[in-house]
Amino acid sequence: MNSSKLSENKGNVLVVDDTLANLKVLTSLLENAGYKVRGAPNGKSALMICEKRPPELVLLDIRMPEMDGYEVCRRLQAEKKTKDIPVIFISALDAPDDKVKGFEAGGVDYLTKPFQQNEVLARVRTHIQLQHTQLSLKQHSVELESANRRLKELDQLKSMFIASMSHELRTPLNSIIGFSGILLQGISGELNDEQKNSLERIHRAGNHLLGLISDVIDISKIEAGRIDVYYEDFLLKDLVDESIETIGPQAELKALDIEVIANHWPIIFSDRKRLLQCLLNYLSNAVKFSEQGKISLTVSVVDGEVEIKVKDTGIGIAEQDMPKLFEAFERLDTHLKVKAGGTGLGLYLTKKITEQLLHGRVSVESQLGQGSTFAVKVPLICK
C-alpha cells in the first residue's frame, strides 16, 4: 500500500463483492491510485456502511448470495441519505438485458469482468469528478437560494423603513408648505419683495421635497408588494382631459400648445389614479424639456390594448442616454437640467406602475435635438 498516494485522497469508494480475490484486487488498484477504499463482502454489509458513512462511489457486484446487486442499488436509491451515491455495476454478465436491468435499478455505469484496470480507473475517476461537481453545484444552489431569500427580506425591510420614515417627514413638510402659502397670500400682513422672494423659495422647495417623498413612498410600496390597486371602469377621454387641465398652466407659461388626437375614446378597466399619474409624468417632462413648439397626445386602440403617446418638440435624448431613462434617480445632463428640476424618479415610477400594477409596458423614441415620444400601453381590461 502506497501511503503517499493514500494521502492524496482522490475520493471515497466502497467496493462490494462476495469473492474475496476480486475485493482485494479492486481495493489494491484503487488505493494505489489515491482513493480511500472500504470493502463489503455482501449487500447487507454494503447498506450498513452506506448508511453510517456514505461513500462518494460504489463499485457493486451483481451476483451475490441473499441480496444481489440490483436489490442493493434499489435500496440505496430508496433512502434520502444514499440516493445520490453513484453505483457502477461490475459483473461477468454482459448481455444487453443485464445492463439495462442495472441501469433501471439506478446504476450509472457498467463494467464487465474480467475488467481492464485502466478502464476501471477511468470510469471511477469520471464519476467521482461528476459527483464532486454535482455536490458543489447543489451547495452553491443552496447558498444562493439562502442569499436570495435574505436579500428579499432585507429589501422588504428597506422598503417598509423608507415608507415609514417618508410618512413621518410628510407631517412637518405639510406645515412648512401650508404656512408659507398663507404668508404668501398676505393674510398675516403685507410682505416686502425680499420677504416674498424668500417665502416663494421655501414654498417651492417644500413642494419639491414633498413630491420626492411621495414618489419614494410609491416606489417602496410597489417593491414591497404593499401598494393598494383599485380597478374600475372609466372613460379614457375624461382622464386625458384631466391631465391636460392639470398640466395646461405650465405649458401656457412656455407658450406650448397641446393637441390631442384620438379616433376612438374607449372605456377601460384599470387603476385610474395610477394611469393618470403615469400620463402626468410624461406630460410634465414634455413641458419641462421643450422650449418651443407643441406637445401632441395621441390615443390608439389595437388588439385589446390602448396606447397613449406623448410627443414633444423638445431637446431630445442622445442615443447613449436612452438606456438610463427609466432608471431611478437618473437625470440627464442637459442645459435645462437645473431649470427643469425634477427628482429623477418620475420615469422610474412610471415604468414600475405600468409594468407591475397596470400589466402594461413603456417605450420611448427620441433623437437629440428633434424631440421625444414617450408611450404607455396598457390592456383595455386589466386583470
Q: Which tens digits make up the pLDDT trace of 102-118? A: 899 999 988 888 888 88
- DSSP code at position 348: H
**Poorest-pLDDT segment among 72-76, 142-146, 294-298:** 142-146
Give me the number of domains the chain comprises.
Answer: 3
Q: Is residue 90 a contact partner of residue 115, using CB atoms and an 8 Å limit?
A: yes
pLDDT of residue 296: 96
- The model's pLDDT over 278-337, given as tens digits with 9 standing for 90+, comes to 999 999 999 999 989 999 999 999 999 999 999 999 989 888 888 888 887 665 655 444
Residues 286 and 306 both lie in one domain: yes
Q: With respect to residue 129, please indicate whether it lies within any of the assigned structural domains.
A: no
Q: 145: pLDDT confidence band, cut at 50, 70 and 90?
A: confident
Q: Do 215 and 246 reside in the same domain of the chain?
A: no
Grid cell of 53 as nine digits: 458513512
Average pLDDT over residues 119-146: 83
pLDDT in tens, 334-359: 544 444 445 578 899 999 999 999 99
* pLDDT reported for residue 58: 94
Mean pLDDT (whole number) for 22-37 = 92
Name the helix (H) or strand (E) containing 334: none
Residue 6 pLDDT greater than 60, yes or no? no
Instruction: Report CA torsion sign: 335, 336, 341, 347.
Output: negative
In a domain? residue 97: yes
Kind and range of the H or E run holding 185: none
Percent of the chain with pLDDT over 90: 46
Question: Are 36 and 174 within one domain?
Answer: no
CA 167/CA 170 separation, integer angstroms? 5
Is residue 323 a contact partner of residue 347, using CB atoms and an 8 Å limit?
no
Would residue 195 count as lying in a domain? Answer: yes
**What pLDDT shows up at residue 130?**
86
Sign of CA dihedral 140, 142, 148, 150: negative
For residue 359, the SS3 value is coil
Judge residue 45's burial from the number of C-beta atoms within 10 Å of its C-beta, 0-12 exposed, 13-18 middle, 19 or more buried: middle
Strand pairing partners for 232? 270
CA distance 262 to 301: 9
Q: Residue 334 belongs to what domain range?
A: 232-379
Residues 337 and 279 placed together within one structural domain of the fold: yes
CATH number of the domain enclosing 28: 3.40.50.2300
Query: For all residues of the chain together, what is the average pLDDT?
Result: 86
What is the grid cell recorded at 296? 401632441
Q: In which region does residue 106 sit, left (phi positive, over 0), alpha (psi from -120 to 50) or beta (all else)?
A: left
What is the spatial distance between Cα 298 and Cα 263, in angstroms, rounded to a whole number?
9
Q: Where are the alpha helices (DSSP H) in 108-192?
A: 117-184
- Residue 375 located in a structural domain: yes
- CATH number for the domain spanning 291: value is 3.30.565.10
Q: Give helix then strand counts, H and E, for the chain.
A: 11, 12
Structure-block grid coordinates of residue 190 = 403685507
Asked if residue 372 and residue 301 are part of one domain, the reply reads yes
Q: Looking at the DSSP assignment, which residues form a beta bridge with residue 375?
A: 309, 363
Give the bridge partners for 4, in sequence order.
none
Task: Output the pLDDT for position 373.
Answer: 96
Answer yes or no: is pLDDT of 275 > 80.
Answer: yes
Question: Are 39 and 13 members of one domain?
Answer: yes
Residue 307's φ and ψ, nearest 5 degrees, are -115, 130
- Would 257 be classed as within a structural domain? yes
Note the Cα 151 to chain centre separation in Å: 11
Considering only residues 226 and 2, tell me which one the structure prediction assigns the higher pLDDT: 226
Same domain, 177 and 301: no
Looking at the structure, do residues 212 and 298 belong to the same domain, yes or no?
A: no
pLDDT given at position 329: 63
The yes-or-no verdict on residue 55 having pLDDT over 90 is: yes
Q: Which DSSP category does 320 fall into?
A: G
Question: For residue 74, is pLDDT > 50?
Answer: yes
Cell of 165: 420614515
